[in-house]
Amino acid sequence: MPVDEAKKDASFFAFREKLVAAVKKKDSKFVLGIVDPKIKNGFGGNDGLAEFKKQWKINDPNSELWKELLTVLTHGGTFDKRRRNSFYAPYLFTGFPEDTDAFDHQAIFGEMVNLRAQPDTNAPVVATLSYNIVKVDYSDSVKSSASDDDYSWLKIETLGGKKGFVKAEFVRSSIDYRAGFEKKKGKWLMVFFLAGD
């Protein structure tokens, strides 16, 4: 189930509210102002602010950054239990069951999501899912177009054995984009924004 500990620290909660508003407005100046100069951008060693700007085309209003960061920021998160000055989002990153393989399983990223018999909004509803752990069968999933890896419908199976199709936007991996924030010298900064493992 989703967890959001942001309100446990008033300074972080206020910071996140401002950041969400800035992301909605695609305010690149504000976002760059909260990015740590040494931000971790991935696992290939291409870290730092210059690489972040280049990777995300920060001044482009159509950059994927705005959608990805908004999704991450609006889906809860938790404080690091060892260091109270660190927050990780979304909740799925730290809340995914440790005994479940994150490469084989994902989560329904929403409440009351329809599992349908076929990849069609008019198909019969097999079940209604909320935050379930599921296995995705990409070989029988439906791509958005023939030329990319984006899917419109994912064929999934719940841990209870129910099978069907879910709109792809409602399924997320725990190792998809996530962000880490740290309070440094009294200021909250985004210290990583990355995907993968």
51 found inside a domain: yes
Note down pLDDT in tens along the chain; length 197 residues. Answer: 889 999 999 999 999 999 999 999 999 999 999 999 999 999 888 899 999 999 999 999 999 999 999 999 999 999 998 877 999 999 988 888 787 877 889 999 999 999 999 999 999 999 999 999 999 998 888 888 765 678 899 999 999 999 999 999 999 988 899 999 999 999 999 999 999 87
Q: Do residues 91 and 178 both lie within one domain?
A: yes
My answer on whether 84 and 40 are in the same domain is yes
How far apart are alpha carbons 30 and 11 in whole angstroms?
17
Tally of domains within the chain:
2
Instruction: Find where tokens 């999933």 sit.
Output: 141
Token digits for 45? 């060693």
H helices present in 25-162, as ranges = 28-33, 49-56, 64-73, 91-95
Bridge partner list, 181 = 87, 190
Task: Tell whether 12 and 48 lie within a shared domain.
Answer: yes
Same structural domain, 138 and 76:
no
User: For position 98, what pLDDT does the model report?
Assistant: 81
Q: What is the pTM of this model?
A: 0.87
Same structural domain, 73 and 134: no
The answer to whether residues 91 and 109 belong to one domain is no
Cβ contact 11:187 at 8 Å? no
| pLDDT at residue 18 in the model | 98
**Same structural domain, 37 and 68:** yes
Q: What CATH number is given to the structural domain containing 159?
A: 2.30.30.40
pLDDT at position 147: 59
Give the separation between CA 89 and CA 112, rounded to whole angstroms. 22
Q: What integer pLDDT is reported at residue 146 of this predicted model?
A: 62
Clarify whether residues 89 and 56 are in a common domain: yes
CB 87 within 8 A of CB 81: no
| Judgement on whether residues 92 and 182 belong to the same structural domain of the protein | yes
Do 141 and 155 share a domain, yes or no? Answer: yes
Domain of residue 19, CATH code: 3.10.450
Residue 51: both structure tokens together: 């690489």
Pairing of strands 178-184, 133-143: unpaired
Q: Residue 1 domain-assigned? A: no
**Residue ranges making up the domain that contains 81:** 6-96+174-194
Same domain, 84 and 10: yes
113 and 189 housed in the same domain = no
